[in-house]
Amino acid sequence: MPDLRQINETFERIAGQYDQHAALEQEVCRRLLERTAFHRRTPLQILDLGCGTGQASAELKRTFRKARVIALDSSRAMLAQVRRRSTMLRPLKTVCADIGALPFSSQSADLVFSNLASFWCADPMAMFSEFRRVLKPDGMLLFSTLAPGTLRELDEAWSGTESAIRIPDFPDLLEIGDALMAAGFREPVMDTEKIVLSYSRLDDLLDELEATGMSLLVGGWNRSAPDMAGLERAYPRTAGEEKFLLSFEINYGVSYGPAEGQPVKTSGGDVATFSVDSLKSTARKKS
């Protein structure tokens, strides 16, 4: 994975054109937003983590009018795009921070939402622990991420050329479910789907990966390699239509914040955390 500095530099550069090319991200966001119907409490504070240009933030504010929606991203240019969606009647608050080190109080959010952002975090396990920390008991975590099989056609075609690329080992459903349980979440429900995009020209496909930052996920990415013609010959296409296909497998996850005191697995054993107020309340009841 590229480091955070490289990620931020890329998104600072592409923020202004991102929405014109992010058809996949926008469609996955729409499908993830549909799952907010599973909420168990009307959210009063919502965190949109890795918010990008704020598509989800604006829709969450539209759906939950009384909620305070906070859009967090590590790119200031992306957050500038979010502020353009903010209005006097539907204000959005923006915070510039790392998704793996959230600057929010523990148990402060009713809904934590994150669309196609977790793979930008260097330590996904620590990220899930942060999600759990800021989520209220019985609050909802709703997220999507890339799964194995993503960019499969590009990987196969590029392997037939002189250049070599590396596609990340994206986690499968079981790995994510285990991570959620280890972080202390309750009742995780995971599902996956495959979305295939088609392009008339290979250059259009590659341009879109660069315009959305997805090319950062491809180790050894080099558009100026001398064997790009070979890549086009090797690339699988649909029969008859001669379209260039690109697959994305998407994991969707829904889970809920644990009750106070539910243990979390750590390298030093299970750790249960209680607030001082809850302990005082328990003591008063016993007395």
Residues of the domain holding 83 = 4-147+169-193+250-275
Q: For residue range 3-36, list pLDDT tens digits in order.
A: 888 999 999 999 999 999 999 999 999 999 999 9
H or E stretch covering 121: none
Q: For residue range 263-282, list pLDDT tens digits in order.
A: 655 444 455 555 555 545 55
Whether the pLDDT of residue 230 is over 60: the answer is yes
| Residue 91 within any structural domain of the chain | yes
| Residue 113 within any structural domain of the chain | yes
| Residue 108 within any structural domain of the chain | yes
This prediction has a pTM of 0.88
| Mean pLDDT on 235-258 | 88
Of the pLDDT bands very low, low, confident and very high (cuts 50, 70, 90), residue 152 is: very high
Whether the pLDDT of residue 284 is over 50: the answer is yes
Which residue shows structure tokens 């009063």? 44
| Residue 286 within any structural domain of the chain | no
Query: Per the structure, how many domains does the chain have?
Result: 1
Which residue shows structure tokens 């007395």? 287
Of the pLDDT bands very low, low, confident and very high (cuts 50, 70, 90), residue 188 is: very high
CATH number at residue 112: 3.40.50.150
| Residue 158 within any structural domain of the chain | no
| Residue 13 within any structural domain of the chain | yes
Q: For residue range 31-73, list pLDDT tens digits in order.
A: 999 999 988 889 999 999 999 999 999 999 999 999 999 999 9
3-state secondary structure of 244: strand
Q: Encoding tokens for residue 167? A: 């596609």
pLDDT for 71? 98
Q: For residue range 80-115, list pLDDT tens digits in order.
A: 999 999 999 999 999 999 999 999 999 999 999 999
| Residue 152 within any structural domain of the chain | no
Higher pLDDT, 241 or 23: 23
Q: Encoding tokens for residue 221? A: 């990415």
| Residue 218 within any structural domain of the chain | no
Strand order in the sheet with 45-49: 93-96, 68-73, 45-49, 109-115, 135-146, 244-256, 186-199
Of the pLDDT bands very low, low, confident and very high (cuts 50, 70, 90), residue 129 is: very high
Please state whether beta strands 109-115 and 45-49 pair in parallel, antiparallel, or not at all (unpaired). parallel
